Structure 1
């Protein structure tokens, strides 16, 4: 078939990173998918049009909004035609053309308009649609996803997926569905490439912390005390202990192995709780699970997470089988509900829901916003262009008088505006822009009328301040309020704009933004990344622009890590690539790059904030850091970083690296041996003279075994489990790499690819590939992270073993990565390469009875890591 778009041609010059992506795209089309991740400002739309042009077949382009849909047609005419005269396009899905631009909603509505699925898919077959372009693919909802899957399965099209942020923080089912539709990520444009090409401005993220007020602190402390008291009572509750001892999993373990293996956490939580109560767990029960009589089992501490697992099963998942105990369970349920530890069918003893809502909506963040805006304004003065994005409008606070501003207790557009209005000196630069209310200062009324026409808007006084006007468009107005206020913001008539993320968070373009405050707590890090993209775009009128992005967090003073609000930021920062605050700056994702302390105490908040405000004023340092970091690397690399493990939440702990622990044992042994030998020799001179050297040597060996045998054994255990970690991880990586090559997943030449394992400056072990493509990087790190993660329910286990390891109880269990473990043939290929690099192993299929025994044993072996992150994938510019 002739290329339908041969007359289209890109009329400008491709950027280097765009050219590289386009050169590689054809080899990714072998599976009829091309999935691209690219940040805002990278030209995803024009890249999409060029890909459509290269494929040359009738195309359906799907966008989340009408604005973005229209941008596609605009970019096509502006960048690919000389006279903007391309006619073979359509905005009407019922009348497709060579390229049809529509929204996801339109496609879904068309789907529902047909009587049957066959009629729906036949429509596209009739019109010979052969390419689907999914723009902002992270928007795909369940209903839209199903419509697209039905269409994809019927017409087998090329699927081109474009997104700035894959929805990694969705649940596993949604992530799986997303990749089934879009295919694996084929290529990625890195933020450093765009900063280097000046398509994005240098920028930095800052975290401004706040402390809850006294009422909030009292609420948190009271909640924690209630939960602690509840746990203490439960541990001495003889009725509850008897209930667990009589539970079918414990009392008749061997008769319920099938159910038990299906819910390992439940059974584990019963054993851990009873062990904490002082109940001696019979060896027979552990032998049934695959443990030998001689093995010593060290039960983990009973944490709140384990109690949650136990109660979630007893009160929800397993309740129907416990009907004879219903009255007791009901009383337990009522007690938990009274403490807000049980809501909507979910046990929550840590306060993830209750305390998180309290902290994320804390009015202390209103004060944080005022402080940040004031600091930015004083530093930039007339150059400030600050946007504050939040979730709700909250019009009920419009009438709050000045003397009651401090009583506002909710975050929203109007509360933020009211706080700024009452605390900010130059309030004439303030404005509100949302879907249902627009507020401007009286001083720019004339400017609004000049831009839009005096007859197109009506004005009324803002209820609590006559200096401000509520702007209302009249019907038939040609220019929208968004257009007018955006222009005034660009000009500097408005310097501080408060709005909703739904209106301004995506698709809105104001290149002059140089300070963005994210006061949003609803939604995923996908939307966070989209909002952040507003501030990092280059400004053609200001080539020296530097963007500051502010994130707000209210700490939980009872949690050493800062609490749930900080944890949420940690997850969101996985989607953000940026430059670090380190002496030698690097570009990477994650919160670690900002060097926030691991433990955040309430008394340290003010000092941390002062440092943050000071750093935010040094925009030249941000520029220099980007330049140094970009020059130190050439491409984006995925790495696996092994984490430090904390076993007990909410308690301060001393962190000890495994290598330091092993080294300590060896030094202790050598020192002890030296002192022991000297002392023993001096004491035994008489023995040597009377009975001879042979008798002395025999007695020395016996004395050494008695004195140091156990220490030698413990040191050997440490070496076996944790020593040589550097070399072991590298060999694991080589086993994965060789398996990927044998299964045909790698396209780069084998001799050019190597596994790197090294310790970072912070002492963390890092493993990655050298010289691999981004897709190969993703496959490798995905497999390695699954291999190192706490064991869940893999189809195959691999056990690192030997004669001595079995005798000394030192066998190591690992989950075979999903991409190798979905079929026995592939699992055996992985085992072959494992044996070549790491020595003998056993491959265990976990779906039969013996395999499930070993699976449970493996999970108990790793049980201390159950609620901890063992490793994580990081993106680094190297």
Structure 2
């Protein structure tokens, strides 16, 4: 009846799944569920994205409906479920011809303050954008997918960590410390501008020891240094699964202003995922790390967790500390503290209080993309 057009709308629950029916002519699907599970999400989506042999130009629109309340805490949980769902499948980017997972590809970033000043309803504004995109996609979706698939024909699906520094006060402060370290004295200025040479020498010694390369020192900044600290520590502790690591190199792309994407070039998926998992722990809120790194400069301190792979014991944490010091020679004191002891616990509690007082909103997402 639905295929013949006698029924235009079907309403049901997840019990419709797996019942043996197939409806390739379905061209619209509205999901009013909070499920984020991989299997269920893709089973439901599969009802609309089937190929219709009678219509080669068929496209399907899938609407993900969420209800927002006045309770911000509730909204955050609902949005977290939606983010989880979008991690389970890939699609074409809203503005670019790239194929990737994650809700970020929809480019839903809305300047709430600007909209409030103009007395514009945020939800209505967002819905209007979605409706306009639907109208545009009806006419050019096939062409966009064709071009996107052509671009990635010889490529593979790779994972990357996308990170925003926009509202991270911790890294904003740390970057300022790095900038201050450049200009503290003539000696510091000299040592900073020569630190590229120094660190290249250090990298050469690491390369000689471990057979590694790094492409990150084309840009000598704190993000590249932090990511390389993680990279070289993983290698030094022999945590990578593949023995042939000579071509591994950290890659950072600024995908847009203050948004960066990290990946481990030349690595297997398993090693790349290990690198991203470990790196992400530096950008996330402090929870209960066994050890912390405390960076001192001009009477200020910034605290970073020791990722759990490096904090298994004191010896591995010391290796991590040494590599921190090798890369950040401009700081006069970097120390490793156990949070099981009074001083470490004190720094951890202060860092947590500071984090929440400054209302950090860390935006770290694991993105998978064809490239």
TM-score, normalised to structure 1's length? 0.32
Deviations 1:678-704 (A, max 9, x none): xxxxxxxxxxxxxxxxxxxxxxxxxxx
Displacement after TM superposition at 1:782 (Å)? 0.5
Deviations 1:329-381 (A, max 9, x none): xxxxxxxxxxxxxxxxxxxxxxxxxxxxxxxxxxxxxxxxxxxxxxxxxxxxx
Show the counterpart of 2:207. none
Displacement after TM superposition at 1:577 (Å)? 1.8
| 2:263 aligned with 1:751 | no
Aligned partners of 2:162, 2:337: CA distance in 1, in Å?
27
Aligned partners of 1:733, 1:519: CA distance in 2, in Å?
39
Matched residue of 2:10: which SS?
strand
Show the counterpart of 1:116. none
Displacement after TM superposition at 1:597 (Å)? 4.0
Structure with bigger gyration radius: 1
Show the counterpart of 1:629. 148
Deviations 1:303-330 (A, max 9, x none): xxxxxxxxxxxxxxxxxxxxxxxxxxxx
Matched residue of 2:64: which SS?
strand
Show the counterpart of 2:295. 800
Q: 1:823 to 1:490 in 2, by over 3 A?
A: farther
Show the counterpart of 1:729. 223
Native 8 Å contact 1:790 1:866 kept in 2: no
Matched residue of 1:498: which SS?
coil
1:603 to 117, 121, 124: 121
Q: 1:774 to 1:509 in 2, by over 3 A?
A: farther
Show the counterpart of 1:767. 262
Show the counterpart of 1:517. 30
Contiguous gaps of at least 5 residues in structure 2: 181-218
CA RMSD in angstroms comes to: 3.9
Show the counterpart of 2:319. 829
Show the counterpart of 2:216. none
Q: 1:858 to 1:615 in 2, by over 3 A?
A: closer
Q: 1:857 to 1:614 in 2, by over 3 A?
A: closer
Native 8 Å contact 2:36 2:84 kept in 1: no
Show the counterpart of 1:594. 106
Q: 1:856 to 1:769 in 2, by over 3 A?
A: same
Aligned partners of 2:26, 2:220: CA distance in 1, in Å?
45
Aligned partners of 1:817, 1:793: CA distance in 2, in Å?
11
| 2:18 aligned with 1:500 | no
Deviations 1:435-468 (A, max 9, x none): xxxxxxxxxxxxxxxxxxxxxxxxxxxxxxxxxx
Native 8 Å contact 1:726 1:758 kept in 2: no
Show the counterpart of 2:161. 640
Show the counterpart of 1:233. none
Native 8 Å contact 1:638 1:768 kept in 2: yes
Aligned partners of 1:493, 1:644: CA distance in 2, in Å?
53
1:812 to 288, 298, 302: 302
Matched residue of 1:535: which SS?
coil
Aligned partners of 2:220, 2:22: CA distance in 1, in Å?
47
| 2:350 aligned with 1:857 | yes
Deviations 1:216-270 (A, max 9, x none): xxxxxxxxxxxxxxxxxxxxxxxxxxxxxxxxxxxxxxxxxxxxxxxxxxxxxxx
1:613 to 131, 138, 157: 131
1:740 to 230, 234, 238: 234
Q: 1:734 to 1:504 in 2, by over 3 A?
A: same
1:483-562 alignment, distance < 5 Å? 488-490=1-3, 492-504=5-17, 509-521=22-34, 523-526=35-38, 527-556=40-69
Show the counterpart of 1:578. 91
Matched residue of 2:87: which SS?
helix
Aligned partners of 1:576, 1:832: CA distance in 2, in Å?
40
Displacement after TM superposition at 1:784 (Å)? 0.4
**Structure whose residues are more often helix by fraction:** 1
